[in-house]
Amino acid sequence: MKGADLIVDLATPADEPEIRRLLRDNPMDGAIRVSLEREPDAFLAAAVEGEPHHTVVARDPRTGAVVGMGSRSVWNAFVNGEPRRLGYLSQLRVDRAFRGRRRLLAAGYALLRDRRGTDEAPFDVTSIIADNDVAKRLLGAGVPGLPRYRELAPFVTLILPAPRPRRPPRGLRIERGSLAQMKEVADCLARNRRRYQAAPFFTAEELLSPERSRGLAPESFHLAIVDGRIAGCLAVWDQSGFKQAVVRGYAPRLARWRPWINRLAPLLGTPRLPEPGSLLPHAYVSHLAVDDDDPTLFQALVEAACADARAGGYAYLILGLAAHHPWLPWLRRRFRAREYRSVLYTVHWDAGENTLLDDRLPHVETALL
């Protein structure tokens, strides 16, 4: 398929080096410019992000270079409390010299639309960085040939420093996960994520799959045990073997203040701002679920994750929540985290769609984005 003078098609293994180059060279804009990279193989993360997974690329026929891409994966997720197959759009990247070509975008979206399954929810979900005004204007403008984007909710991704953890409350037991407990972990995720919109859930087999849960082991989980059963869980997921976040630069004002911010960081308990080109040494807080959203259990689990991070040499933990989630105020008080703000959207492919979502808070899995 042609989009302007470019060739738009599904990615093949031959495109893999160019996809990595495109992700490396086109960081997300914002006060802190970060490239979300896929070394050493761009396709290793595909099974983790969902199944099926499709990546569309735009090639310059003169050079063979990949100058644009976008991906779509499908999760098992809850929509209005019911299990559905839900698509997620991600990794929309276009080289600067080729941005603003609507026919290019339309051709890519058409390929992804054609691969939607009949068993899937009638819309997809995606996120856009809050200060990416160009993308929000373009995708929210109802441009012919593009799907319709509707704002779902603001979303906050927290970069938490890993301070010394606090002891759990007396009588509360936090323990490491084990192989035998993965079925009960899957049950904990399912019963609690049903309260949220677009929240992915997993079978025990998926939690143990070396492809679907690459880099995740039963021992990566921390479990809150109440009356002999799992009442809450989370995992500390190191994805550095196939996904990396690299700081590529700062807005001018932040760049000027960065040396002073870093000098004060130890005193204030805030994360340092790494040198441009530095890998962010982090792990994700994932698979988070707590019975009745109990704040005491949640806080104890996060403290266990901090201990895990410090022992593993991670400077930061990354956790994403809806901007109105009741857990956020405690996280801000406890950690003085840096925040990336984005907006979640539903993406409607057909003009006649009118899916009504109830008022549940969304909970997407940051580790899968």
Q: What is the mean pLDDT of residues 342-367?
A: 86
Tell me, yes or no, whether 201 lies in a domain.
Answer: no
Query: With pLDDT > 70 as the criterion, what percentage of the chain qualifies?
Result: 97
Residue 63 pLDDT level (bands cut at 50, 70, 90): confident
Tell me, yes or no, whether 38 lies in a domain.
Answer: yes
* Residue 141 pLDDT exceeds 80: no
* Residue 165 pLDDT exceeds 90: no
Taking only the tens place, the pLDDT of each residue in 197-239 is: 999 999 999 999 999 999 999 999 999 999 999 999 999 999 9
Full domain range(s) for residue 12: 2-152
Tell me, yes or no, whether 16 lies in a domain.
Answer: yes
Q: What is the DSSP string of 96-151?
A: GGGTT-HHHHHHHHHHHHTT--TTEEEEEEEEEETT-HHHHHHHTTT-TTSPEEEE
Query: How many domains are contained in the chain?
Result: 1
* Residue 342 pLDDT exceeds 50: yes
* pTM attached to this predicted model: 0.90
pLDDT at 3: 47
Q: Report phi then psi at 120, rounded to 5.
A: -90, 155
Q: Name every residue whose Cβ is closer than 8 Å to that of residue 49 and which is 6 or more positions away in sequence.
A: 71, 73, 88, 90, 368, 369
CB 366 within 8 A of CB 157: yes
Tell me, yes or no, whether 216 lies in a domain.
Answer: no
Residue 163 pLDDT level (bands cut at 50, 70, 90): confident
CATH number for 26: 3.40.630.30
Residue 1 pLDDT level (bands cut at 50, 70, 90): low
Angle, vertex CA 76, rays to CA 74 and CA 77, nearest 5 = 110
| pLDDT: which is higher, 107 or 271 | 107
Q: What's the mean per-residue pLDDT of the chain?
A: 90
CA 49 from chain center: how many Å? Answer: 9
